[in-house]
Structure 1
Amino acid sequence: MAAARRPPTLVPAYVLHQYDWSETSLVVELLTREHGRVAVVAKGAKRPHSQLRPVLLPFQRILVAFGRAGRTAGDEGVPEVQTLRSAEWGGAGHVMPAGAALFSGFYLNELLMKFLPRLDPHPALYDAYEATLPALRQRGGRDEPAMAAALRAFELCLLQTAGLLPDLSVETATQAPVDPAARYRLRGETGVAAALGDGELDGAALVHAQAALQHGSLVALQQACLPHAAAWRGVLRQLLHYHLGLPQLRTRQLLVDLQNLERRTA
């Protein structure tokens, strides 16, 4: 007598990106806690009555199961992918971010797509992503200081996870402790260094951020970023672009283009 087939193991995931695979199917890039970033083929997901269509949405926690590697798409430059076996809601549906908050959500997804290799799990970063999303949904993203602090905290977590963030509590070249009352620069090529002129960041901002990172508390890191969110924005943007080798991320450029269009049509 044949053994009963075991149901597939479901793991929590978020949709980061999706694109066409065929006339009826999609390749979906997922962020999972157990497996990291995973590419799966969602067969038939483009059909009008597919049960996957209303489930494979960004910024919604879903439960997925995927199986053995599927075919290889040489022409599209897509490496070997898994086959999506099932996908269902992972809890109550959440309101989608809107306006600038929606672009911020896609910005987080773009960062993860560019910085994380496939099948390289980072549970703490998954948890940080999951905990950051509510800040984008809060009152439609209109609490701008809190949303900005949440974005800066996630960027710091991502850089630390990728091994690209120096110890913020010491000067990189000299290993001298950072003076909370002094001003500092943070650069991809030099790390933390004493400021030239007025500088960019208070030493206190660096020390508090490093303490929160060491503690592993995203809430503490968001609170540390809140008073200095504007300064952190420019510093981290330069750092991210340095390590990516890009002058601008697509989501940032699209937001700038839309803002310019609004000004011209106002």
Structure 2
Amino acid sequence: MLSAYVLHSRPYKESSALVDLFTEQGRMRAVLRGARSQKGSQIRPFSLLEIELKGRGELKNIAQHASMGPLLLLQGTTLFCGLYLNELLVRLLALEDPQPIIFQQYQSSLIALANNYPVEPLLRTFEWRLLEQLGYGFSLTHDAQGATIDATLWYALVHDTGFVMQAQLKPGAFKGEDLLALAQAQWQDKRTLIVAKRLMRQALAPLLGTKPLASRELFMGLKDI
């Protein structure tokens, strides 16, 4: 049996559902038969489940499932934030690649959302940890050559490399003092939050590709995450 969260589900054949799960053993894809029955209604996002999967291929079957606790109540802004986290995991995690640190970070992020913690520091922290664990992390205190970030200079983020000092200001560059503030997680500073959002979007863009995030588009009418 595995602990798992539902990331996404969609109808499959007559009465089944194709479900993306985030488990202790990584992201899994499975078929839930009888998904439209009362028992199938327990399979929903943001609820910790105990499941048994059967099958040797990438597409497995959910043999058993049971709730391991109350459904976390996310609504309004927190609901869209939860959907955003789910979509990041579906898009970026390979199947059956264990990610225990990301699993723990996801679980604590959902609990924080349900308890109405400030969402922007929470989202930026999750994005940062996700990048680190997928091998795309970078230093906020040193540039790509190992030199200490200078608060007075400007830097560009280069994918798979890190920050490169700019001889002249270019679009998308970051001020050294802002990167150092980020390194210290100065979330009380509104400017730091704005820079963090811009930085994470730049860092995630090469991994997400050109296909827009559906959760972000849905959220546009409420608030830009």
Letter in structure 2 aligned against 1:99: G
Distance of 2:114 and 2:30 partners within structure 1: 27
Distance of 2:151 and 2:104 partners within structure 1: 30
Give deviations 1:200-232, integer Å, cap 9, x for gaps.
562423543xxxxxxxxxxxxxx5555422210
Residue 2 of structure 2 corresponds to 11
Distance of 1:224 and 1:90 partners within structure 2: 36
Residue 181 of structure 2 corresponds to 205
Residue 75 of structure 1 corresponds to none
Q: Is residue 46 from structure 1 mapped to residue 31 from structure 2 by the alignment?
A: no
Residue 84 of structure 1 corresponds to 62
* Alignment length (residue pairs): 216
Preserved CA contact (<8 Å) 1:103 1:255: yes
Distance of 2:134 and 2:59 partners within structure 1: 23
Give deviations 1:24-53, integer Å, cap 9, x for gaps.
1111110011x1000111111123x3x121
Distance of 1:68 and 1:255 partners within structure 2: 37
Distance of 1:181 and 1:96 partners within structure 2: 44
Query: What secondary structure does 2:40 align onto?
Result: coil
Distance of 1:166 and 1:187 partners within structure 2: 10
1:193 to 1:106, Cα distance in 2 relative to 1, 3 A: same
Provide structure 2 residue ranges, at least 5 long, that are not aligned to the other structure: none
Q: How does 1:1-266 map to 2 (within 5 A)?
A: 10-33=1-24, 35-47=25-37, 49=38, 51-53=39-41, 55-69=42-56, 80-91=58-69, 93-139=70-116, 146-172=118-144, 174-179=145-150, 184-188=155-159, 191-194=162-165, 196-197=168-169, 199-200=174-175, 202-208=178-184, 223=185, 225=187, 227=189, 228-246=192-210, 248-256=212-220, 258-259=221-222
1:121 to 1:244, Cα distance in 2 relative to 1, 3 A: same
1:64 to 1:45, Cα distance in 2 relative to 1, 3 A: same
Deviation at 1:166, TM superposition (A): 2.1
Letter in structure 2 aligned against 1:46: R
Larger helix proportion, structure 1 or 2?
A: 1
Deviation at 1:235, TM superposition (A): 1.2
1:226 to 1:42, Cα distance in 2 relative to 1, 3 A: farther
Query: What secondary structure does 1:242 align onto?
Result: helix
Deviation at 1:238, TM superposition (A): 1.9
Identity over the aligned pairs, expressed in percent?
29
Deviation at 1:181, TM superposition (A): 6.5
Provide structure 1 residue ranges, at least 5 long, that are not aligned to the other structure: 1-9, 71-79, 209-222, 261-266
1:109 to 1:200, Cα distance in 2 relative to 1, 3 A: farther
Give deviations 1:85-143, integer Å, cap 9, x for gaps.
1111112x14421112111111000100111010000100100000111222124xxx5
1:193 to 1:205, Cα distance in 2 relative to 1, 3 A: farther
Give deviations 1:39-70, integer Å, cap 9, x for gaps.
111111123x3x121x2110111111111247
1:224 to 1:131, Cα distance in 2 relative to 1, 3 A: farther
